[in-house]
Structure 1
Amino acid sequence: MDTLTESAGAHPGFWRRLGAFVIDTTILGIVGALIGFAAFDLLAGLGEWARLLGLGLATVYFGAFGSKMLGGSTPAQRLLKLRVVSLEGGQISLGRSLVRGLVLVAPMACNGIELTLTPANLVVVAFAGVTLFGLGLAQLYLLIFNRPTRRLAHDLLTGTVVVRSDRTAAPGTSGGTTHVRVAIGIVVGVAVITTGLTAYTLTQLPRPLAEMMSALGAVNALPEVQSSTIADSSTVMITTRSGRTVSRNLVLNARLKAWPADPKAEARKLGKALVARHPPAPDQNVVVNIRYGFNMGIASSWRSYSETFSDLTH
């Protein structure tokens, strides 16, 4: 049987559930963009904490609309004739629906999170990885294979199910317990891998990486820098005229607390702070990318500037 086919019962199929989520997150993105337009500098100043605002808005959105207070359907679910009910078929309380919404949107809040890999951030980095990849992959697995109910993690944890509002059949709770175990295994597996890799990276740093971490600390210590990352990259270009050429770059990505009056001068300053601790190889250029903006998880907006230097060690 096709796992994406919708049955004739009370439970919606893959595409209807996915479509409702896409529409709802698009609505949230528009709301987030409007907030960002009105309070850009305020959100940019919050740094990664702005994600908590996006998480709160998304949780309230799904929680309020999914509860009996607002009829048990988000705007997209109402459009696609879906509603959230308890396993007994009744509507759920606001508190229960908020918990459901929080579990649903948590991976969105962790998508693209920028955290420096330090011992202090180890727990946060591991949790973000598990939430984004572990919970996210488990949700996708359950959506495809946990038929016919397609109950996802937030449904399983809160005793709810999404049903077709235009059909009167009882919601039922049938669904493969094997699939639930597989989903749990996905989360646990990602948790073990993420924690292990993070701990190994911190305790077994090779010398070049240790130098990069030291340089990263020097850049992050500058008062105008909110956070930064460093990468040692190579770019291969093949053309009919010059054949194969390889360019090596030491790349610094810096997120600033305010937009500089002179972006080029600021990029040079950051580049010098980098090469003072981690000098580039003789054939390497230093690429400095600076950004100023925000990411709420549901919406983001950035100003950016990039400059390539070959003379920072002179």
Structure 2
Amino acid sequence: MLASPDWLSSLYRRVGALVIDAAVLVSIGFVLGWVFESYFVELSVWARAIGFVIALLYFGILNSELNNGQTIGKRLLAIRVVNLHNESIKLDVSLLRSLILITPFFVQGSGLPGALLHSFWIYPVSLVLFGGLVSTAYLMVFNRRTRQGPHDWICRTFVANVESDPQRPEPIWLGHSVTVGFVLVLSLALPAAVQQSNIAEPQPDLDRSAAQLLQLDIANHVQIARVDSQRDDVENRFTSAQVMLTENRVEDEDLAADIARQLLQGNDRIRTQGPLMINLTYGYDLGIFSSWDSRMHRFNAPEE
């Protein structure tokens, strides 16, 4: 007998379970942030690694045979992760499955350094980020035979309704395999296009200016970018600097002015780029929960 909706969970139940699990992880992140805020602020962009480990262990352990293949969301909606024999999966398989599932979501918005755009690592990052997210979304919506995402497909797992009889799954449609393969090839081709764009050109002078600002005791992460756009024949040029602070001084106009002064004095190109936007930011991002306070300060470059 081939697998039927009586055995495989519906997309709606899976999404519902994921929403519940996301709420649980957000609650965990909120409590941890309330207790360890200063520590997470010091970690800056690396704080997401803590959220990544928490999510990996949450899904990896609870979806394994240690908890009958059920996270909190799956237990509430009466579904569970199983193998081909409708049995709960081993812990190592569950951890791998969770790793494949959550990695693209944590890589997205992780603040990867600009230098990465000009190194070999942009190719695996594009494969994981673009290829992983698009493939997951596509298979979860359109793969109605087995209802497997890439994480299930690779690990040969399924999400089944509780107390359902084991059934032989249908083979995945060849067209889905071709589509996923095309998406993965495209994800490897994208970095070449990005590297050829003006936005992706290396700007060592901005890297040096960012490194100088990091010498300030109150700054733990700095990103500087030039913006040069045109809309309705109106040219918009300015330099944007995001400075993540170790203390909540986002309203400190004097601090922002001091940062702008250092940038203008140490970089002639910034002086000719138009206004300088200083975005003072305080907070943290765990990936499962974030808390931010920021304020934008505008300064005009002195005329020659």
What range is the shorter-chain TM-score in? 0.7 to 0.9
Letter in 2 for 1:140: A
CA distance in structure 2 between the aligned counterparts of 1:109 and 1:250, rounded to whole angstroms: 28
From 240, 243, 246, give the equivalent of 1:254. Answer: 243
Is contact 1:51-1:296 (8 Å) kept? yes
Change (3 A) 1:262 1:137: closer
Matched, 1:14 2:5: no
Counterpart of 1:23 in structure 2 is: 20
Matched, 1:114 2:104: no
Letter in 2 for 1:230: A
Letter in 1 for 2:145: P
CA distance in structure 2 between the aligned counterparts of 1:27 and 1:67, rounded to whole angstroms: 18
Change (3 A) 1:205 1:228: closer
Alignment of 1:266-281 (within 5 A): 266-275=255-264, 276-277=266-267, 278-281=269-272
Does 218-227 or 135-144 show the bigger shift? 218-227
Counterpart of 1:205 in structure 2 is: 201
Is contact 2:276-2:300 (8 Å) kept? yes
For residues 12-58 of structure 1, what are the alpha-carbon distances to aligned partners after superposition, in whole Å with 9 as ceiling and x for unaligned? 23222222222212211121111111101101111222121111110
Matched, 1:292 2:289: no
Is contact 1:110-1:297 (8 Å) kept? no
Alignment of 1:1-314 (within 5 A): 8-118=5-115, 122-168=119-165, 170=167, 172-194=169-191, 196-197=192-193, 199-200=195-196, 205=201, 211-220=205-214, 222=216, 224-232=219-227, 248-260=237-249, 263-275=252-264, 276-277=266-267, 278-281=269-272, 284-310=274-300
Change (3 A) 1:104 1:171: farther
Letter in 2 for 1:226: H
Structure 2 residue ranges without an equivalent (≥5): none
CA distance in structure 2 between the aligned counterparts of 1:58 and 1:313, rounded to whole angstroms: 51
Is contact 2:250-2:282 (8 Å) kept? no
- The count of corresponding residues between Structure 1 and Structure 2 is 298
Is contact 2:7-2:167 (8 Å) kept? yes
Is contact 1:142-1:179 (8 Å) kept? yes
- Root-mean-square deviation (Å): 3.1
How far apart are residue 165 of structure 1 and its match? 1.6
Letter in 1 for 2:287: G
SS of residue in 2 equivalent to 1:162: strand
How far apart are residue 137 of structure 1 and its match? 0.6
CA distance in structure 1 between the aligned counterparts of 2:22 and 2:126, rounded to whole angstroms: 21
Scaled by the length of structure 2, the TM-score of the pair is 0.84
Letter in 1 for 2:227: D
How far apart are residue 261 of structure 1 and its match? 8.8
SS of residue in 2 equivalent to 1:279: helix
Change (3 A) 1:296 1:122: farther
How far apart are residue 216 of structure 1 and its match? 4.1
CA distance in structure 2 between the aligned counterparts of 1:219 and 1:313, rounded to whole angstroms: 23
Task: Using the aligned pairs only, state the percent identity.
Answer: 24
Change (3 A) 1:129 1:51: farther
Letter in 1 for 2:33: G
Is contact 2:206-2:224 (8 Å) kept? no
CA distance in structure 1 between the aligned counterparts of 2:295 and 2:12, rounded to whole angstroms: 40
Is contact 1:116-1:229 (8 Å) kept? no
How far apart are residue 86 of structure 1 and its match? 0.6
How far apart are residue 186 of structure 1 and its match? 1.2
SS of residue in 2 equivalent to 1:191: helix
CA distance in structure 2 between the aligned counterparts of 1:235 and 1:220, rounded to whole angstroms: 32
Structure 1 residue ranges without an equivalent (≥5): 1-6, 238-243
Change (3 A) 1:120 1:13: closer
Is contact 1:117-1:125 (8 Å) kept? no
Does 297-306 or 117-126 show the bigger shift? 117-126
Letter in 1 for 2:252: P
Change (3 A) 1:230 1:76: same
